[in-house]
Amino acid sequence: MALLNMSEWYDIARDTNWTPRYVREEELFPPAMSDPYGIPVSEWEAFDEPYKVCYRDYVSTQREKDVGAYSVKAALSRSNFFRNASPHWRSLLELHFGVICFPEFHSTSLFARITRFGRAGGMRNTATFGSLDEIRHAQIQLYFAYEFIQQDRAFDWAHKSAKTENWVIVSLRHALDDIEHTRDAVSSAIMTNFAFEQGFTNLQFIAMAADAAKYGDHTFATMLQSIQSDEARHSQIGEPLIAIMVKNGRKAEAQKLIDIAFWRMWKQFSVLSGVSMDYSTPLESREHSLKEFMEEWVIEQFVRNLKALGLDRPWYWDHFLEEVNTFHHAQQLGIYFYRATEWWKPIAGVSPAEREWLEQKYPGWNETFGRVWDVVIDNIEHGRTEKTACELAPMLCSMCGLEMSGVPGKSWKVTDHVLDYEGRRYHFCSVVDKWIFEQEPDRYRGHRSIIDRMLDGTIGSGPDDLYEYMGQSPAERGTCAYDYTWVEGYKPPLKAAG
């Protein structure tokens, strides 16, 4: 029996709205969960997702993808790749898998909310597959991470991290709880599918895949590309949604949601992808710098998408362009200084050749960030490795939860953006993080950063109290991945005998 082409029945199949008779519309679709913008159902009927898929085709396509990714992994598992990998690359994998798995799984919940509470049939349809996608992304990355656990206990954090109060995880959890998990279906979709997924996932899943392939980690590269192919489909929920918002007089609301989410995810990806691309990827394997990739994929493409939808660049664009040059460099310094607070083993990534690359990609790097590294290098060369860890706790931003940083050295400029709100003081690393708080202070006011918890006694002041609070036994505290031998590159060459 011949099957119909999907295009012949898709529009009928996705048209699942009805006029309820036994309950009210708002009982079926409570605005707080569904659409708080009051857009008529008739307008939602115009939602048209660009990528259409049916369950039959979804299953066969996804199976092919999984066969591809898992067979590459199976073939390469025998090659001892990880055992032979550079500490740079191991550091990158430890960080990636530690942060990525639980956000993927939690995104299942986001898509399930859109599936249930989206007002447009097509939106619900696409989100159903999105929900399945995110289950896949959680499972594939957990499974791939677990290959390494016998060799490196840091990969236990692929699963464990979500259950800890580690400062990196608190930062990420806050951002994703804000944009994905605590808003109605429409707002969450705009923030996640458009701003987050279309804006940034290419960084970690396409740019990193290129670097991974160049390094020879084809298992990781294939996995990333496979994941991103799903992302390209389900992130398309955002654009038709925004078109409906703009058409129905909600442009300002859509703009603000994008402005908030874009910045929040920029902060997270600047650490995850920025540090990975510009420091942890071995020098010879780097395809692009973070800045080059951002310029092509985000600054150009994303802005083009915004304008096509009738939206504007976020108001803080100049701040953003400046931070592309600086933020992740400062964060990398903090990652190294405070490595014991991390579950992975950081690398410095500042050998003479690497510094030359950094200076070429980010002119002025040596006179700014390089100046701090000079102190670190001097300490290691003179046997003062205890001074490569900072005894003072870093201030963490009350919004992004990352270290409050700026530019060191010759162009020294670091600002603590203070806000006093209803008897409590908040600290922000940028005017934009502060602006986000000011949009909905009651949403954010209750959060206590790790520093707040140290000050209010939630975290004790004993030498191990912070680590125990963050779920780190002594064996789970990061150390220099090269055990300081990376400074060998700075020693002058020995003169030949005779």
Instruction: Summarize as ranges the residues that interact with another protein (CB under 8 A).
Output: 330, 333-334, 337, 369, 371-372, 374-375, 378-379, 384, 387-388, 390-395, 403-409, 412, 414-416, 418, 425, 427, 451, 454-455
H-only helix segments in 190-249: 199-202, 208-215, 218-234, 238-247
Question: Least separation, in Å, of the C-beta of 365 and another protein?
Answer: 12
Q: If 0-12 CB within 10 Å is exposed, 13-18 middle and 19+ buried, where does residue 218 land?
A: middle
**Considering the complex, what minimum distance in angstroms separates the CB of residue 454 from another protein?**
7
The sign of the dihedral angle between the CA atoms of 137, 138, 139, 140 is positive
Interatomic CA distance for residues 212 and 79, integer angstroms? 16
DSSP 483: T
Nearest approach, Cβ of 289 to another protein (angstroms)?
19
Residue 423 DSSP SS3: coil
| Chain centroid offset of residue 67 CA | 26
Distance CA 59, CA 394 (A): 48
Instruction: Give whichever of 157 and 337 is closer to another protein, judged by the CB atom.
Output: 337
Beta carbon nearer to another protein, 373 or 444: 373
Q: Which is nearer to another protein, 163 or 425 (by Cβ)? A: 425
Tokens read off for 322: 């400046």
Report the candidate in 418, 429, 411, 425 with the shortest Cα–Cα distance to residue 334: 429
- Residue 261 near residue 314, CB atoms below 8 Å: no
Compute the least distance from the CB of residue 327 to another protein, in Å: 11
Q: Provide Rg for the chain, Cα atoms.
A: 24
CB of 393 vs another protein, minimal distance in Å: 4
111 neighbors 135 (Cβ within 8 angstroms): no
By C-beta, is 63 or 425 nearer to another protein?
425
Least distance to another protein from the beta carbon of 355, Å? 16
Question: Judged by CB, which is closer to another protein: 226, or 268?
Answer: 268
Question: Which is nearest to 98 in space by CA: 149, 52, 134, 28?
Answer: 149
Least distance to another protein, CB of residue 429, Å: 8
Q: Which is nearer to another protein, 303 or 419 (CB)?
A: 419
CB of 367 to another protein, least distance (A): 11
Neighbours of 338 (CB within 10 A): 17
Residue 372 CB, shortest distance to another protein, in Å, is 5
118 or 408: CB nearest another protein:
408
Residues 377, 487 contacting (CB under 8 angstroms): yes
Q: Hey, how many other C-beta atoms are within 10 angstroms of the C-beta on 73? A: 18
Nearest distance, CB of residue 388 and another protein, angstroms: 8
Which positions ≥6 away from 324 have C-beta within 8 Å? 270, 290, 291, 294, 295, 299
**465 Cβ neighbours under 8 A, 6+ residues apart:** 459
Q: Which is nearer to another protein, 199 or 394 (CB)?
A: 394
Smallest distance, another protein to C-beta of residue 330, A: 5
At position 365, the amino acid (one-letter code) is W
Q: Which is nearer to another protein, 31 or 406 (CB)?
A: 406
- Least CB distance to another protein at residue 354 (A): 18
Alpha-carbon span 418 to 230, nearest angstrom: 41
DSSP 196: I
Is 126 in contact with 193 (CB distance < 8 Å)?
Answer: no
Torsional class of 440: left (φ above 0), alpha (ψ -120 to 50), beta (otherwise): beta
Q: Between residues 163 and 445, which has the closer beta carbon with respect to another protein?
A: 445
**What is d(CA 45, CA 123) in angstroms, rounded to the nearest whole number?**
10
Residue 153 or 371: the one with the smaller Cβ distance to another protein is 371
**Cβ atoms 57, 13 nearer than 8 A:** no
Nearer residue to another protein within complex by CB, 186 or 396: 396
- Considering the complex, state which of residue 108 and residue 430 has its C-beta at the smaller distance from another protein: 430
d(CA 287, CA 206): 11
Q: Show the CA angle centred on residue 237, arms to residues 134 and 434, nearest 5°.
A: 85
Give min distance, CB of 407 to another protein, in A: 7
